[in-house]
Structure 1
Amino acid sequence: MSLLRAKIKDVFNEPGCEKNRGKDAKARKEGCSKPLTPGAAAGGCAFDGAKIVLQPITDVAHLIHAPLACEGNSWDNRGAASSGPALWRTSFTTDLTELDVVMGQGERKLFKAIREIKEAYGPPAIFVYPTCVTALIGDDIEAVCQRAAEKFGLAVVPVNAPGFVGSKNLGNKLAGEALLEHVIGTAEPDDAGPYDINILGEFNLSGEFWLVKPLLDRLGIRVRACIPGDARYVDIACAHRARAAMVVCSTALINLARKMDERWDIPFFEGSFYGITDTSDALRNIAELLVKQGADPEILGRTEVLIAEEEAIAWKKLAAYRPRLAGKRVLLNTGGVKSWSVVHALMEIGIEIVGTSVKKSTVEDKERIKQILKDHNHIFEQMAARELYAMLSEHKADILLSGGRTQFVALKAKTPWLDINQERQHPYAGYDGMLELVRQIDLAIQNPIWCQVREPAPWDCQPAVRKERPCTKSETASLHVVQEFAGTTADDFGEC
């Protein structure tokens, strides 16, 4: 536990974090993440964050050393996609019971589980995740993993990120620490070259990195390791031989990028593949970093030629959507890198941004938003569901772009909604991804269902008022009969 506390303290004091550098010494010691309130939802714990970062490593077995309930979502973790192995989608857990805890059988059961996975699946590595229960009872995960690695001849990596230590973002960083300590640098490639790069913080959601990789292939740039999207264990083990790196999500793996720069001289920059301009800028920055690291300067010219060709094709295809989407108002309720990258991408085609959240965004992210949006009133830290509903029901936005948690707010307000977060079903990265994003927004806004659902419901419509007329002789006779029976007068009934 003392080793875990030291790691957490080191991650909290991350010098590569723009937000952390802006604090004074006292605030920096309190850490980057908000403390968790017991019993309250915190958007995911440290264990969840670590598993999110590491599970997309597709050929690795991910073993949860905990009671069964701790293993929740393995089949479709964040919508990440794999081009090969499917082992990462198989759930492995030691399934501790009360008897195992009381009798101290946790370590023995963990060792047995590692042996069974080795014999049944033969993976190149097994990642072991302790959770709150096994961390509190004091199971020595590092010792068991070390013994199992020696016994079975494969890498067994302890990922020390039990849920109670902090937030999901802290778990992201602890996962990066586990890769640095146990994986990266443990293998040597036989084909290292001057055009090798790493992509950090890219999860290959809905396979969107596959829209970007062909661009790099055309430039002769090889992705040595994409961490973690569609990654293989050996690729990450050889990641220290890359010549440059791009960080897609700095809030998750900035510590990994900084320490790889310190240890192996791999310079990095933070960029985005969302939007035409940002994709072009990312390609330029990659080429420039490689040249600074010794690559042939001719790659700069080839990069500009590629950018010119791809931008011309993309703008030509997007021209058909401009008259349909120009002036449409978008409310963006997300965070992190998407809080500015998607904003910039949408503004390129004439869409108006009426608001964007900056939850989980760094100080640098917020500064970029301020440079893009002239009206700072359109930037909000967090918007409650009631405020979102009020804004949408008053028709201040034509569509809401957010995660699945707020989709029902939009539907209740009878407003189109598009998933922009990790559960999305469509890739939005690169030039082709930008075209897909615009197409999906157009389909959502122009869907004829909205004209129908906004019509008043039949039971809310006022019934047609019948024209008053005098009573007929037969109706008058009937009224007299009723009067005699009920003791009323004709005035009590009025006209028919």
Structure 2
Amino acid sequence: MSSLRAKIQDVFNEPACEQNRGKDAKARKEGCSKPLIPGAAAGGCAFDGAKIVLQPITDVAHLIHAPLACEGNSWDNRGAASSGPTLWRTSFTTDLTELDVVMGQGERKLFKAIREIKEAYGPPAIFVYPTCVTALIGDDIEAVCKRAAEKFGLPVVPVNAPGFVGSKNLGNKLAGEALLDHVIGTAEPDDAGPYDINILGEFNLSGEFWLVKPLLDRLGIRVRACIPGDARYLDIASAHRARAAMMVCSTALINLARKMEQRWEIPFFEGSFYGITDTSEALRQISQLLVKKGADPEILGRTEALIADEEVIAWKKLAAYRPRLEGKRVLLNTGGVKSWSVVHALMEIGIEIVGTSVKKSTVGDKERIKQILKDDNDMFEQMTPRELYAMLSEHKADIMLSGGRTQFIALKAKTPWLDINQERQHPYAGYDGMVELVRQIDLAIHNPIWRHVREPAPWDCQPGVREELPSTKSETATLHVVQEFAGTTADDFGEC
């Protein structure tokens, strides 16, 4: 537990975090997130955050050392996609019971579970996650994992991020520490080259990265490791031989990027693949970093040629949507990299941003938003459901882009809504992804269903009906309405 405490403190003192650097010594020791309140929803615990980062490593067995509910509540929590192995889709848990806790059988049960997974599935590695219960009773998973690795001849990686130590974002960073301590640098590739890069903080949601990778392939740039989207264990183990890296979501894995730069001299930058301009800029910065690390400067010219070709194609496709969407107002209730990258992407085609959430955004994210919007009033740290509903019901926005938790606010306000978070069904990265995002916004706004749901109810259109209804809210009132409108159609009510 002392090693975990030291690891957490190291994450809290992250020097690459702009927000952390701006604090005094006392504030820095308090950590990066608000303390959790027992019994209150915290938006995900450290265990949940660690599993989010590591589960998309598709050929690894992810074993949860905990009671059954810990795995049941966290399984399949992201829409990441795999181009091959499906082992990551199988749930593994030691299913600890009260009797196991009382009798001290936790470590024995964990060792047995590792052996069964090895014999039944033969994965290249097994990741072991403790949770609150197994951490509190003192199970030494690091010792068990070390013994199992020696016994069974495969990597068994302890991911020490029990839920009670902090927030989901802290768990993201602790997962990065586990990769640094036990995975990255443990395998030497035999095909390392001057055009190898790492992509960090990319989850391949709905297969998004598959829209970007072909662009890199055309430039002769190889993705040594995409962490964690559609990743393989050996790719990550040899990620230390990449020449450059791009950080997609700095709030999740900034510590991983910084320490890889320190240990293996892999320079990185933070960028985005959302929007035409940002995608082009990301490709430029990747090429520039590779040239600084020894790649042939001719790649810069090829990159500009590729960008010119792709932008012409993308803008031609978007031209059909501009007359339909120009001037439309969007409320963006998300966070992190999407808080500025999607804003920039939408404004490129004339859409107006009436507000964007910065709840999960870094200081750098907020500065980018200020440069794009030129108005701090369009940024909000947190907006209550009541405030969101009021804004939408007053028609201050034509559509809301957010996660699934706030979709019903928009639907109650009879306002179009589009999922922009991890549960989304469509990929929005790269040039083609930007076209798809605009297409989905167009479909949502111009869906004819909104014209119908905004019309008054039929009984509000027939004169005298409301006066005849019983005043009490009872079964009699309901029966009266049913009898009144039985056998009628919408045409019978006429215009309101």
Deviation readout 1:123-171 (Å, 9 max, x if unpaired): 0000000000000000000000000000000000000000000000000
Flag the 1:348–1:150 CA change in 2: closer, same or farther, 3 A: same
Q: Distance in 1 between matches of 2:474 and 2:131?
A: 84
Flag the 1:149–1:470 CA change in 2: closer, same or farther, 3 A: closer
1:359–1:382 CA contact under 8 A, matched in 2: yes
Please name the residue that 2:241 is paired with: 241
Deviates more, 1:91-100 or 1:479-488: 479-488
CA RMSD between the two structures: 7.5
Deviation readout 1:414-456 (Å, 9 max, x if unpaired): 0000000000000000000000000000000000000000000
Flag the 1:435–1:474 CA change in 2: closer, same or farther, 3 A: closer
2:462–2:493 CA contact under 8 A, matched in 1: no
SS in 2 for 1:401: strand
Flag the 1:316–1:464 CA change in 2: closer, same or farther, 3 A: same
Structure 1 residue 403 displacement after superposition: 0.1
Q: Distance in 1 between matches of 2:493 and 2:197?
A: 89
1:471–1:495 CA contact under 8 A, matched in 2: no
Flag the 1:137–1:461 CA change in 2: closer, same or farther, 3 A: same
2:458–2:490 CA contact under 8 A, matched in 1: no
1:336–1:365 CA contact under 8 A, matched in 2: yes
2:36–2:167 CA contact under 8 A, matched in 1: yes
Deviates more, 1:43-52 or 1:484-493: 484-493
Q: Distance in 1 between matches of 2:28 and 2:148?
A: 38
Find out whether 1:224 has 2:231 as its counterpart: no
Flag the 1:134–1:457 CA change in 2: closer, same or farther, 3 A: same
Flag the 1:4–1:325 CA change in 2: closer, same or farther, 3 A: same
Q: Distance in 2 between matches of 1:469 and 1:106?
A: 65
Deviates more, 1:14-23 or 1:477-486: 477-486
Alignment size in residue pairs:
496
Q: Distance in 1 between matches of 2:207 and 2:139?
A: 38
Q: Distance in 2 between matches of 1:192 and 1:485?
A: 75
Q: Distance in 2 between matches of 1:24 and 1:75?
A: 39
Flag the 1:474–1:165 CA change in 2: closer, same or farther, 3 A: closer
Structure 1 residue 25 displacement after superposition: 1.5
Provide runs of 4+ in structure 1 moved above 6 Å: 465-496
Find out whether 1:183 has 2:221 as its counterpart: no
Structure 1 residue 29 displacement after superposition: 1.1
Flag the 1:220–1:494 CA change in 2: closer, same or farther, 3 A: closer
Flag the 1:462–1:245 CA change in 2: closer, same or farther, 3 A: same
1:225–1:235 CA contact under 8 A, matched in 2: yes
2:335–2:361 CA contact under 8 A, matched in 1: yes
Q: Distance in 2 between matches of 1:222 and 1:416?
A: 40
Please name the residue that 2:48 is paired with: 48
Structure 1 residue 460 displacement after superposition: 2.7
Structure 1 residue 37 displacement after superposition: 0.7
SS in 1 for 2:465: coil
Structure 1 residue 486 displacement after superposition: 33
SS in 2 for 1:424: coil
Flag the 1:494–1:326 CA change in 2: closer, same or farther, 3 A: closer
Structure 1 residue 401 displacement after superposition: 0.1
1:47–1:163 CA contact under 8 A, matched in 2: yes
Flag the 1:138–1:492 CA change in 2: closer, same or farther, 3 A: closer
Q: TM-score, normalised by structure 2?
A: 0.93
Flag the 1:35–1:488 CA change in 2: closer, same or farther, 3 A: closer
Flag the 1:377–1:153 CA change in 2: closer, same or farther, 3 A: same
2:202–2:227 CA contact under 8 A, matched in 1: yes
Flag the 1:192–1:458 CA change in 2: closer, same or farther, 3 A: same
Deviation readout 1:290-328 (Å, 9 max, x if unpaired): 000000000000000000000000000000000000000
Structure 1 residue 77 displacement after superposition: 3.1
1:44–1:167 CA contact under 8 A, matched in 2: yes
Structure 1 residue 461 displacement after superposition: 2.9
Deviates more, 1:486-495 or 1:445-454: 486-495
Deviation readout 1:391-421 (Å, 9 max, x if unpaired): 0000000000000000000000000000000
Deviates more, 1:372-381 or 1:167-176: 372-381
SS in 2 for 1:418: strand
Structure 1 residue 481 displacement after superposition: 31
Structure 1 residue 459 displacement after superposition: 2.5
Please name the residue that 2:24 is paired with: 24
1:322–1:349 CA contact under 8 A, matched in 2: yes
Flag the 1:315–1:105 CA change in 2: closer, same or farther, 3 A: same
Flag the 1:485–1:287 CA change in 2: closer, same or farther, 3 A: closer
Q: TM-score, normalised by structure 1?
A: 0.93
Q: Distance in 1 between matches of 2:489 and 2:424?
A: 70
Please name the residue that 2:2 is paired with: 2
Q: Distance in 1 between matches of 2:462 and 2:204?
A: 53
2:469–2:480 CA contact under 8 A, matched in 1: no
Flag the 1:248–1:477 CA change in 2: closer, same or farther, 3 A: closer
Q: Distance in 2 between matches of 1:235 and 1:301?
A: 29
1:483–1:490 CA contact under 8 A, matched in 2: no
Flag the 1:222–1:73 CA change in 2: closer, same or farther, 3 A: farther
Structure 1 residue 31 displacement after superposition: 1.0
Q: Distance in 1 between matches of 2:213 and 2:234?
A: 19
Flag the 1:463–1:85 CA change in 2: closer, same or farther, 3 A: same
Deviation readout 1:193-226 (Å, 9 max, x if unpaired): 0000000000000000000000000000000000
SS in 2 for 1:291: helix
Deviation readout 1:35-92 (Å, 9 max, x if unpaired): 1111100000000000000000000000000000110256633100000000001000
Deviates more, 1:382-391 or 1:465-474: 465-474
Q: Distance in 2 between matches of 1:473 and 1:254?
A: 58
Structure 1 residue 24 displacement after superposition: 1.4
Deviates more, 1:453-462 or 1:436-445: 453-462
Flag the 1:375–1:154 CA change in 2: closer, same or farther, 3 A: same
Find out whether 1:101 has 2:101 as its counterpart: yes
SS in 2 for 1:64: strand
Deviates more, 1:165-174 or 1:71-80: 71-80
Deviation readout 1:464-492 (Å, 9 max, x if unpaired): 69999999999999999999999999999
% identical equivalent positions:
92
Deviation readout 1:371-392 (Å, 9 max, x if unpaired): 0001211100011100000000
2:63–2:126 CA contact under 8 A, matched in 1: yes
SS in 2 for 1:487: coil
Please name the residue that 1:88 is paired with: 88
Flag the 1:322–1:104 CA change in 2: closer, same or farther, 3 A: same
1:243–1:290 CA contact under 8 A, matched in 2: yes
